[in-house]
Structure 1
Amino acid sequence: MLAHVLWVAFLYVLLTLVRAPSVWGLIQSKKEPWGEVEPRISANLSNQFEWPLFFYVVCVLLVSQGSAVDSVQVWLAWVFVAGRLFHSCVQILTKNVRLRGLVFTINFLAVLAMWFLFIFNR
């Protein structure tokens, strides 16, 4: 969970840096080099608060059990986090919607598997 929180913090810093020239009046147009990427960073940042919510809930439930967390759950959590990083890179740096959808599917399935294991391994 900490890795994802740090990633989201990085995205906030990146968005701030990209928006700063416009906010401070240093540029007058969206045709600047970062003008095209700013909406994609903003959209990606919003994405970090949608499906990841289910990741956080299942992680909190796993930790609250008080017993050791299964290594498969830990592996799935890392798949999710790595997938979120890759998803951000694809969404921010490219316009490849198919690849972004594929990466999202991997994230989606990792969290779904975490929930499945949590419910049926109790």
Structure 2
Amino acid sequence: MSHPLILPMAAHVALAAFLYVLLTVARAPAIWGIGRRADGGNPWARIEPRISANLSNQFEWPLLFYAACIILMQSDAADDALALAWIFVGGRVLHSLVQILTTNIRLRGAVFTINFLAVIGLWAMVVLG
């Protein structure tokens, strides 16, 4: 059986994969001409840069999430870390929704705090564990 921390890590990978698919769909009108408006415009033009930026964000702070999880998988504290790992993933999903669907920078920052604190908590467990 795989380690319990693999599931939240896999969930984040699934989120990144979904964002790649979404970005491909958003770029399809401009790149392949699929789904263009009658005037030739891309109906996703306003949201495409936000999807792209969010996808890039999935390879920044989450790197520290993966590192902490991998270290914790080798320790006795791994079971205690599971809740923080899921909080991180939930926060990433929420952050993606806010970043892609709104332009509210304050809300995005507040939601990012969830991810930030979850990873800090995981690293505290690494250091203190």
Displacement of 1:117: 1.3
Find the counterpart in structure 2 of residue 23 from structure 1. 31
| Paired positions, count | 117
Task: Say whether residues 1:98 and 2:98 are aligned partners.
Answer: no
Structure 1: how far apart are the matches of 2:43 and 2:22?
A: 14
Long gaps (5+) in structure 2: 1-8
Q: Give the TM-score normalised by the residue count of structure 2.
A: 0.85
Q: Give the TM-score normalised by the residue count of structure 1.
A: 0.90
Find the counterpart in structure 1 of residue 88 from structure 2. 80
Long gaps (5+) in structure 1: none
Identify which of 61, 81, 93 aligns with 2:71. 61
Structure 1: how far apart are the matches of 2:55 and 2:128?
A: 32
Structure 1: how far apart are the matches of 2:79 and 2:73?
A: 11
Displacement of 1:68: 6.3
Find the counterpart in structure 2 of residue 5 from structure 1. 13
Structure 1: how far apart are the matches of 2:29 and 2:48?
A: 12
CA RMSD of aligned residues (A): 1.3
Amino acid in structure 2 at the alignment position of 1:69: A
Of stretches 32-41 and 46-55 in structure 1, the one that deviates more from structure 2 is: 32-41
Deviations 1:60-105 (A, max 9, x none): 111133x46233x100000000000000000000011101000111
Identify which of 34, 47, 56 aligns with 1:46. 56
